[in-house]
Structure 1
């Protein structure tokens, strides 16, 4: 057993680090969501911010967009040109994807400054891509409502998770200490 642990030490370290970071950040996020229920920003600050920024970008694209709190669930109703198109829920704010990204990068950590800068840049990139995803998806739903399923469940999740995967590949191949140790 000891020989297996020694042989797979780097794999075990990766798995343990990933799980500790992922579970810790997920618990912190859960506390944030629970605390946010009494906030003036409905349904929570980050989701509200994403909804407002999405509306600003949609308006910039030449549409008349607005958001209103959903009366029956914790979400914001997105309306373009007086047509209710979608709801922006907590899952649309990109935090869960960022937590997954951060956990992986921490599990393959590199130099502290490089790791921090990559985490910051990657998180901003994911957040921005998510905003653009919501905007393009909303405009797509406005013009092509019959394409809702493929747009929402296949194309746009594929784009955001594909980008995260590419960020991981770049990290592992360019900055991670794990690869350097094994060379």
Structure 2
């Protein structure tokens, strides 16, 4: 048994670090979400909605995003029509938690790891805002493709970005890069 523990030590350290970080960050996020009442929209989702609206206004789209009066989501009004909603799951925090957990599990030097995590979070956030903005426009023009666009294509883009960041991290900066 001891031989197996020695042989698989790097893998076991990776798995335990990944799950410890993932569970801790998920619990902290859950505590954050629990600080809001049932019909409130959390602050991160509000900021994402505001940034989506700002980005779309830069490109002269007729969009208005505001909190639903009765529910815990943001209503997206596009071309003066209620079109879609932005819910807590759209803010990419769960994707960011996954990204951070993986980078921590393959950590390198502290400063490099912290810098990469912060830049990765920023990049994921920006991609997410752009993703939602494009999705709003595409769903307006192609409502029959809602399931494909929302359920397949755009998740593939955001998770694809995270995967590419992971590959870059492991090959260039992690302690296993050499």
| TM-score, normalisation: structure 1 | 0.93
What is the CA deviation profile of residues 115-147 of structure 1, one whole-angstrom value per residue up to 9, with x for unaligned ones?
000001000000000000000000111211121
Unaligned runs of 5+ in 2: none
Unaligned runs of 5+ in 1: none
1:134 and 2:122 aligned: no
Residue number among 117, 140, 144 corresponding to 2:142 in the alignment: 144
| TM-score, normalisation: structure 2 | 0.96
Q: Residue 37 of structure 1 corresponds to which residue in structure 2? A: 37
Matches within 5 A, 1:1-183: 1-37=1-37, 42-180=40-178
Q: Any runs of at least 4 consecutive aligned residues in structure 1 with deviations exceeding 3 A, and if so which?
A: none
Cα contact 2:38–2:72 (8 A) shared by 1: no
What is the CA deviation profile of residues 75-113 of structure 1, one whole-angstrom value per residue up to 9, with x for unaligned ones?
111111111111100011111100000000000000001
Q: Alpha carbon RMSD of aligned pairs, Å?
A: 1.4
What secondary structure does 1:62 align onto? coil
Distance 2:58 2:74 in 1: 19
Cα contact 1:47–1:92 (8 A) shared by 2: yes
Alpha-carbon shift at residue 2 of structure 1 (Å): 0.7
What is the CA deviation profile of residues 162-181 of structure 1, one whole-angstrom value per residue up to 9, with x for unaligned ones?
0000000000011110343x
